[in-house]
């Protein structure tokens, strides 16, 4: 029963739950807490999937007549019967496969993303003009200006991070609007939002297509942009940021970068004229995130961990 319960929880957390949460609009008023909630759901889904496999494995090594676990998996065929034993083995193998896919996905996403960023950073260092940036009364390096007439702005996260803007951006925007767009990109770099996206990308790739949902990845992308928008509002105000976002809406970032514009620009601009963030919603989201991790652990993990402990100390 523990294995079945874990499997059902995992299926819910990678399918219906992300789909429902992605349609919620309240998350836009508590972006940081909503990201924590999304992270809790992803972590709970992974832990539930692994727990289901481990619970199945424990049934393959049930205690024998002497109270000790059986020595081999195949010795339980007679006790369980071929159909049930085969099902247990297949579920356990699927769990191991998901674990292997998750490890491979993390490595693939990390390596591929960093290669793309390193290549593009080399290009912008060659063709872009280095320039000092001033953002929120701070002056720093790492800004590259491209001779492109279309307004665009994006950042390349990493150890050698870069903020890239076009000549069209500097020409079309007022000084406070430039400050807003630079604050937006610097917020991405300072908070390492790219690492959050990498985690969700890896989890999305690890689960089989018939159970996973793209809702989590898309929702987190939007929430991360909202966090950067909030930082820009604190630096320059909502109106300059809204104008800068509209100007850079058609700008597209290369793979691995994080652009200020994009398909969510209209939604984000509307939010800037809304009610603002809510402390009540944020606290509710934090409590929900804690419940997603704690409740399954207490209700499901503790009982079967106790049984597993008994099995190996018998």
For 119-139, b where at least 16 C-beta lie within 10 A, e where not — what string?
Answer: ebbeebeeebeeeebebeeee
The count of structural domains within the chain is: 1
Q: Please list the helix, strand and coil fractions of the chain in percent, rounded to the nearest 5, in that order.
A: 70, 10, 20
**How much of the chain exceeds pLDDT 70, in percent?**
82
pLDDT tens digits for range 134-191: 654 444 567 899 998 899 999 999 888 899 999 999 999 998 999 999 999 999 999 9
List pLDDT tens digits, range 216-225.
888 999 999 9
The Cα–Cα gap between 276 and 28 comes to: 9
Burial class (CB in 10 A: 0-12, 13-18, 19+), 64: middle
pLDDT for the residue numbered 137 = 44
Task: For 129, list phi and psi in degrees, rounded to 5.
Answer: -95, 125
Is residue 288 scored above 90 in pLDDT? yes
pTM, to two decimals? 0.83
The burial class, CB within 10 Å (0-12 / 13-18 / 19+), for 66 is exposed
Could you report the per-residue pLDDT of 102-122, keeping only the tens digit for each?
Answer: 888 889 988 998 999 999 999
Identify the domain containing residue 188 by its residue range.
Answer: 2-313
pLDDT band at 64 (very low <50, low <70, confident <90, very high): low
Residue 139's pLDDT is what?
Answer: 44
Under 8 Å CB-to-CB from 213, ≥6 apart: which residues? 14, 15, 18, 19, 22
As a dihedral over the C-alpha atoms of residue 256, residue 260, residue 264, residue 265, rounded to 10 degrees, the angle is -160
On average, the pLDDT of the chain sits at 83
d(CA 183, CA 189): 10
Q: What is the mean pLDDT of residues 230-254?
A: 91
């Amino acid at each position: 029963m523990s294995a079945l319960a874990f499997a059902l929880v995992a299926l819910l957390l990678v399918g219906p739950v992300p789909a429902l949460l992605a349609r919620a609009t309240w998350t836009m008023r508590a972006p940081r807490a909503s990201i924590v909630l999304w992270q809790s759901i992803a972590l709970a889904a992974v832990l539930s999937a692994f727990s289901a496999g481990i619970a199945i494995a424990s049934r393959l090594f049930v205690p024998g007549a002497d109270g000790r676990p059986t020595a081999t998996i195949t010795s339980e065929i007679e006790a369980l019967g071929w159909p049930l034993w085969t099902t247990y083995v297949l579920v356990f193998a699927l769990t191991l496969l998901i674990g292997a896919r998750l490890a491979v996905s993390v490595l693939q996403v990390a390596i591929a993303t960093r290669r793309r960023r390193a290549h593009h950073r080399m290009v912008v260092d060659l063709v872009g003009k280095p320039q000092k940036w001033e953002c929120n009364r701070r002056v720093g390096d790492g800004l590259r200006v491209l001779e492109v007439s279309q307004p665009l702005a994006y950042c390349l996260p990493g150890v050698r991070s870069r903020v890239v803007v076009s000549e069209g951006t500097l020409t079309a925007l007022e000084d406070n609007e430039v400050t807003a767009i630079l604050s937006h990109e610097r917020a991405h770099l300072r908070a390492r939002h790219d690492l959050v996206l990498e985690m969700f990308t890896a989890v999305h790739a690890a689960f089989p297509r018939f159970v996973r949902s793209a809702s989590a990845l898309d929702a987190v992308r939007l929430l991360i942009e909202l966090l950067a928008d909030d930082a820009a509002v604190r630096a320059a105000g909502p109106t300059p940021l809204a104008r800068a976002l509209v100007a850079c809406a058609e700008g597209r970032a290369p793979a691995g970068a994080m652009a200020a514009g994009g398909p969510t620009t209209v939604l984000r601009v509307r939010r800037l004229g809304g009610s603002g963030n809510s402390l009540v919603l944020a606290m509710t989201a934090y409590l929900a995130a804690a419940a997603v991790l704690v409740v399954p652990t207490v209700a499901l993990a503790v009982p079967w961990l106790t049984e597993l402990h008994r099995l190996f100390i018998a």
